Each structure stands twice: as C-alpha cells, then as structure tokens.
Amino acid sequence: MSTRTEAEMPFYFGPERALFGLFHAPSAATRKAVLLCPPLGQDHIRCHRLYRQLAQALAAEGIAVLRFDYYGTGDSAGDSIDMDWQRCLADTAIAAGELRIRTGVDRLFAFGARLGGSIALASAAQAGFAGVAAWDPVLDGRTYVERLDAMQSALCLDGRRFMVPRKPVDAAAQWLGFAISDSLRQQVADLHVERPTVPALLLDSLSPDTPRSLNGFAVDTAMTRTLEISTPWDDPRRLEVAILSHPLIQAVTQYMREAA
C-alpha cells in the first residue's frame, strides 16, 4: 500500500475521546496546517468526498490537514439531536489544538463549506486561526432556516421518494434526515456571522437567484472569489448526490499554498 494512504490516520481525540478525526500527514516536515471544518446535516455527507480530495491535495502540497466531526455528527460521539452550535465552536477549538499538537505548527488556517464555513469564521478568534477560506458560508441564519424548513415540508409530498404521501408530523423536528433540537434551530436562526477578524477568502458558488448577504461582510480583510459553476446545495432532487468541485479544490489549495 502506498505511504500516502498510510499517512491518513483515523483516531478519536478530545475530552473522553468523543471526537473523530482523520489526520493527513504531509510527506515531509511542514510549517503549515489546515483544519477542515465540516458542514452540518446532509451537507456533511454530501461533502465528504470533496473534503477528502481537498485534504489529499493539501497534503500533497506539504500541508498537514485534520478532518474531524463535531459532537453529534459523523463518527463522533453523541446523537444527531445533540448537535449544538456552541459545542461545534468549542469542538473546532479542540480540533485546532489537536492539530497544533500533532504538527508543532502554531499558525493554522481553516476551511469550511456552508455551515462549516460559518463555524470556521465564527470560531476564528477562539481557535486562533491565521486565516479562513469559507465556501458559500451561511451568513444569515434566518433565511437558511426558512429554506431548510421549506425543503423539509416538501419531502412529505415527494412522489419520487414516498409511495404514499406523509403527514407533516412525520417530518417534524428534523432537517433533511437529521433530528434537530429546538435550541439548534434557534441558534442557527440567530446566526449572523460578524465580519471576519482574520484574513478570509470567501468562495461564492451560490446560484444567481439565491439571496446573498455578503454586502457589509466582505470588508477589506476579506477577499471574494466567484466559482463559475453553481453548487446545487438546495436542489431537492440532488439531496443525496455528492457535492464535488475541482475548481473549489484548486482555489483553496492555491490560497493555502500562498498564505504566508
């Protein structure tokens, strides 16, 4: 087996070893490290392949990478109903600490897609990131919650999915396959990511008709780059189709390579 695969080690870490991580070691000693913050819910599953490809691309550039799952998500401990915004921020800081210990690198960068991007931006100070690349981050939680609620309600009448229509109660207290608590719903609805305190690259691939709230956010410390192909985050017909984007991987790899 190639040493590259051997360099990708799965493990548990953090208090009570509750968090799952997969460390991508670079081939040689490194001075750079990147923490990949996953999105939540179905976006997490859809982006899994892309995150792995990105981690491998960064490792090939000599950059150490840690992928991880927040409490209540992926392979980490906790049920899906236990997902909590503040816990996600705290877990991100713990994961950043773990990456520092494993690499000896103090200056970390972060990447995140959708809510993962929001988490990377919101936790930048707590986790001590030197820079953040955020792909279509959710900046306005209320609009995002309304969209998720609408997609969840529409599931009940989805004739491609169900043999018989379902009752609204069957879909209650969930977002696209995942149980959610009232507190998480409120936390996401209240989400309003402040202007970044660190250099940030915003990668925009939302469809043209999707409302944006980048105005006022993209301040002088931030840089926005538009990807030519829109990402179908909210297309219910592609709810279980993987999100893949080579332009995104190239853009993030270039940003991380050039980051001082």
Partner 1 sequence: MQEQAFRFGRARHLVGIAGLPAPAAPKAVGVIVLNAGLVHRIGPFRMHVEMTRRLNACGYPTLRFDLSTIGDSASSGESQTRKQQICADVSDAMTLLGEQAACKHFVLIGLCSGSQSAHMVACSDPKVAGAVFLDGYAYRTLGYRLRYYIPRMLDMKRWLRILSRRKAPSDGSGDPPFTVAPLPQAVVRADFAGMLDRGLKLCLIYSGGISQYFNHARQFRECFGRVVSHPDVFTRFLKEADHTYIFTGDRNRLLDNVERWLSQNFPVTADGSS
Would you tell me which residues interact with partner 1 (CB under 8 A)?
1-2, 5-6, 8-12, 17, 20, 22, 42, 45, 48-49, 52, 73-75, 77, 79-80, 155, 159-164, 166, 170-171, 174, 176-179, 237, 240, 242
- Cα 251 to Cα 199: distance, rounded to the nearest angstrom: 15
- Cα 204 to Cα 222: distance, rounded to the nearest angstrom: 13
Contacts 24+ apart (CB under 8 A), 104-109: 105/30, 105/31, 105/32, 105/33, 105/64, 107/31, 107/32, 107/33, 108/33, 108/34, 108/35, 109/32, 109/33, 109/34, 109/35, 109/133, 109/256, 109/259
Tell me, rounded to whole angstroms, the distance of Cα 154 from its chain centroid. Answer: 25
- Give whichever of 170 and 194 is closer to partner 1, judged by the CB atom: 170
Burial of residue 163, with CB atoms counted within 10 A of its CB: 0-12 exposed, 13-18 middle, 19 or more buried: exposed
- Give whichever of 171 and 198 is closer to partner 1, judged by the CB atom: 171
**Minimal distance, residue 8 CB to partner 1, in Å:** 7
- Give whichever of 11 and 218 is closer to partner 1, judged by the CB atom: 11
- Give whichever of 142 and 161 is closer to partner 1, judged by the CB atom: 161
**Minimal distance, residue 5 CB to partner 1, in Å:** 4
**Minimal distance, residue 161 CB to partner 1, in Å:** 4
- Give whichever of 14 and 196 is closer to partner 1, judged by the CB atom: 14
**Minimal distance, residue 164 CB to partner 1, in Å:** 6
**Minimal distance, residue 151 CB to partner 1, in Å:** 11
CA-nearest of 128, 76, 67, 69 to 102 is 67
